[in-house]
Homo-oligomer: A and B are copies of this chain.
Amino acid sequence: MSDEKLNTERRDFLSKGAVLAASAGVAAVSVAPSVAVAKPASNVGPIEVKGYVKDPKNLKEVLTNAKKIMDTCAACDIAGPGRCNGKGPCGESTPGMGGKRRSFINNVEAFEKLHFNMSTVHNVKKPNTELELFGVKLSMPILTGVTGGLTYNMGAKGKLAYDGTEMTESKFVRGIVEGAYNAGTLGWAADGIGDPIETYRERLTVVKKFKGRALAQIKPRTQKEIFERIDAVQAAGAPFFAIDIDSAGRAARALPGKTVEPKDVKKLREIVKYAKIPFVAKGIMTPTEALMCVEAGCAGIVVSDHGGRVMSSTPASLDVLPGIVKAVRDSGSDMVILFDSGVRDGGDVLKALALGAQAVLVGRPFLRASLGGGAKGVEMMFKKMHTQLVSTMVLAGVADVKKVPADIIYKEA
């Protein structure tokens, strides 16, 4: 932007949400166990949300519900094609958003700066969006993002949900995983720093239910703790798993059971060796570190800066993607490269693919869909993004998501 202009109203809005943010600081990865916080604050039962649409019938109703139930996200332009760009009234109160919000904005702006060479003289009418990822067939190159602690972080805990019963973390995860399953793709169950192993196992029950078609992530804990959780993930039948090593910012303030840490090549290699399913390292932002993952034998990486939420000043994930793809492919490796951070619609998906990603993870839009409409909401959102992806492929003349030419992206003369 050079510049982001904040007006007075927004500042007012922010001050309302500032209480939550005050205790969060820069490395705002929550350490509260997510099960506990799902309980209502008092024993008077769940709080009813005014204006809630029961059994939402379209995406607009789903997202209206999300807007109602969340305290800390304004769900900007909820029915539009996704104007959630960090410039709305979210500010510092957005859960887990680190630093000066610049990183989050960078991620979205990087997409806004890329344009397509619009193409209309060809015969691509019905593009193919199917692909295979670690042996799993997907209807489209879109997975949910790795999102957890939602009821707590979004202020939805203890409130009545779209289905007339209390919103809980389990219900949120179920929406994500089942909705992705129904859309023919994959959703993630997440590990929270403060979650004891029991909570994590509870979280994995939904992964188990959709055996082979649901995923799980693990925090960058001590090696021993990671191994214990890998066992659980494998038992739940996930086809692959990820560790978000970009959660390591709290390393210097590690507490027993809540330790996160960066992982050097040696430790990554131990994890690869221990696991019986493919291991994906999430949170890679430089070519050098991508090559270290190749060296460690990782099955894949997710180019991601944690949605711009762990460090105040990171370049846009999309901007570093091409350099990482080039470095990995030049090294002769065919390691899977996924992308995450800033994807808002189907057009964005095609951009990431044109820059070399094989598939993308999308967080905030699905998070809202699950909070506002559960599995049905998540499925509707997947369908919308699929329609956008197909329409964009037609106007870019792209026939297959597995072969997206780099030159569909416009280059200034």
* Neighbouring B residues of A118 by C-beta, 8 Å: 246, 283, 285-286, 305, 310-311, 314
* Neighbouring B residues of A388 by C-beta, 8 Å: 25-26, 99, 312
The answer on a CB contact under 8 Å between A6 and B88 is yes
Instruction: Indicate whether A289 sits within 8 Å of B120 (C-beta atoms), given known contacts A252-B394, A410-B315.
Output: yes
The answer on a CB contact under 8 Å between B346 and A262 is no
A23 to B319, CA, bound (A): 32
A239 to B342, CA, bound (A): 48
The answer on a CB contact under 8 Å between B285 and A19 is no
A344 to B312, CA, bound (A): 11
The answer on a CB contact under 8 Å between B22 and A313 is no
* Neighbouring B residues of A3 by C-beta, 8 Å: 1-5, 87, 105, 109, 112
Residue in A5, A87, A100, A249 whose Cβ sees the most chain B Cβ within 10 Å = A100
A46 CB–B CB distance under 8 Å = no
A33 CB–B CB distance under 8 Å = no
A18 to B63, CA, bound (A): 12
A201 CB–B CB distance under 8 Å = no
The answer on a CB contact under 8 Å between B311 and A116 is yes
A412 to B8, CA, bound (A): 33
Binds B, one of A73-81, A227-235, A272-280, A328-336: A73-81
Copies in the complex: 4
Binds B, one of A124-132, A137-145, A167-175, A179-187: A124-132
A349 to B143, CA, bound (A): 37
A245 CB–B CB distance under 8 Å = yes
Shortest A109–chain B CB gap in Å is 6
**Which A149-185 residues have C-beta < 8 A from chain B?**
none
The answer on a CB contact under 8 Å between B249 and A11 is no
Binds B, one of A35-43, A210-218, A263-271, A363-371: A263-271
A251 CB–B CB distance under 8 Å = yes
The answer on a CB contact under 8 Å between B312 and A81 is yes
A92 CB–B CB distance under 8 Å = yes
A58 CB–B CB distance under 8 Å = yes
| Contact pattern, A 60-89, Cβ under 8 Å of B = 1, otherwise 0 | 100000000000001011111111000111
The answer on a CB contact under 8 Å between A22 and B81 is no
Instruction: Indicate whether A345 sits within 8 Å of B312 (C-beta atoms), given known contacts A83-B100, A264-B121.
Output: yes
The answer on a CB contact under 8 Å between A313 and B100 is no
The answer on a CB contact under 8 Å between B80 and A392 is no
The answer on a CB contact under 8 Å between B124 and A313 is no
A237 CB–B CB distance under 8 Å = no
A372 CB–B CB distance under 8 Å = no
A310 to B120, CA, bound (A): 12
Chain A residues with a Cβ under 8 A of chain B: 1-11, 13-14, 18-19, 21-23, 25-27, 58-60, 74, 76-83, 87-89, 91-92, 98-100, 102-103, 105-106, 109, 111-127, 220, 245-246, 248-254, 261-265, 267-268, 281, 283-286, 289, 292-293, 305, 310-315, 319-320, 322-323, 344-347, 351, 384, 387-388, 390-392, 394-397, 410, 412-413
Cβ contacts A to B, 6 pairs, < 8 Å = A3-B5, A8-B10, A19-B79, A22-B58, A81-B92, A125-B251
